[in-house]
Amino acid sequence: MADAYDEFSLFGENVLEWGLDVAVPPVRRFFVSVDGLRQLSGLAWGDGNPELVMVHGGAQNAHTFDTVAIALQRPLLALDLPGHGHSDASPYPPSAIASHALDLERAIEQLVARAVPLVGMSLGGLCSIVVASRRRDLVASLVLIDITPGVNAEKSRHITDFVNGPQSFASFDELLARTIEHNPTRSVSSLRRGALHNAVQRPDGTWVWRHQQHAPSVLSAPEPGDLWELLGELTMPVTLVRGMATGSVVDDGDEAELLRRVPEATVVHVARAGHSIQGDQPVELAAILERVCF
């Protein structure tokens, strides 16, 4: 069944699973050059100028925000990080924040007509801090989904252990079984959908994650560097959406440090979500974004 995958054929499942009483907006795949040689890819949702840009986490792809995009019913962009999804491979490591941020900046400046809210999850959130710091003409506000510069190897070990597991799988069912084991609270249908979006079959019949299709790679906890300082210098509205269930990489100390650095920041807790809030509670996340971004 996996070989019949069509990335635009599964949105009806998102609508049904989450009980959304809306139509699926028009959506298209796009590519934009970031250095004359490589392209960044993404999904453009809705008609008109984008009102929001969203960036996924490490080892994910733009489709992680599908249900959020459908629920929001606004024109928006969901980008693939370099080396992820349908974007070209990057010469830099999977967790290279500075280089990924530069690619995002080069893409966003070609795609938006004015400054818009920038929403970044996990690794995408750390990259988004850099973009917001460098290009305040592009970023009207910043939303961090379950991430702060306080992330480290210990806090993210459950994620990196999963991502850095088998480098390939004999079948799609084997890949899906590992995904289900790692995500016991999610529905099998949603995990199958996510795996189809985030995996690719090789000519020899084996399956690999999309971010590993170019070459085997190891995801490590990002090195945040001076991101706390950059975050503290921002003058735009900043929101942290924190998962409060098992799996979050943000703790009370991180939240306190964020509020110390950015006293006017908004913090929103999502009780029934872990690290992947857009997967665990996408409709609630959409409502939060509607409230804090517009």
In a domain, 62, yes or no: yes
| Catalytic annotation, pick one of 122, 128, 217, 248 | 122
The enclosing domain of 96 has a CATH number of 3.40.50.1820
pLDDT digits (tens, 9 = 90+) for 45-100: 999 999 999 999 999 999 999 999 999 999 999 999 999 999 999 888 888 899 99
Q: How many structural domains is the chain composed of?
A: 1
Residue 146 a catalytic site member: yes
In a domain, 187, yes or no: no
Residues 98, 102, 105: CA angle, nearest 5 degrees: 135
- pLDDT beyond 80 at 215: no
In a domain, 205, yes or no: no
Do the beta carbons of residue 147 and residue 159 sit within 8 Å?
no
In a domain, 237, yes or no: yes
2-11, 21-30, 180-189, 206-215: which has the minimum mean pLDDT?
2-11
Secondary structure of residue 143 in the 3-state scheme: strand
pLDDT at 1: 44
In a domain, 215, yes or no: no
Q: Write out the residue range of the structural domain in which residue 84 sits.
A: 2-152+223-293
Mean pLDDT of the chain: 94
In a domain, 197, yes or no: no
96-110, 123-137, 155-169, 277-291: which has the minimum mean pLDDT?
155-169
In a domain, 235, yes or no: yes
| Catalytic annotation, pick one of 66, 88, 103, 146 | 146
Higher pLDDT, 213 or 61: 61
pLDDT at 213: 84
Residue 275 a catalytic site member: yes
pTM of this structure: 0.96
Please report where in the chains the tokens 């509205």 appear, as a residue. Answer: 237
In a domain, 131, yes or no: yes
Residue 106 bridge partners (DSSP): none
| Catalytic annotation, pick one of 63, 248, 275, 280 | 275
Residue 128 a catalytic site member: no
- pLDDT beyond 60 at 185: yes
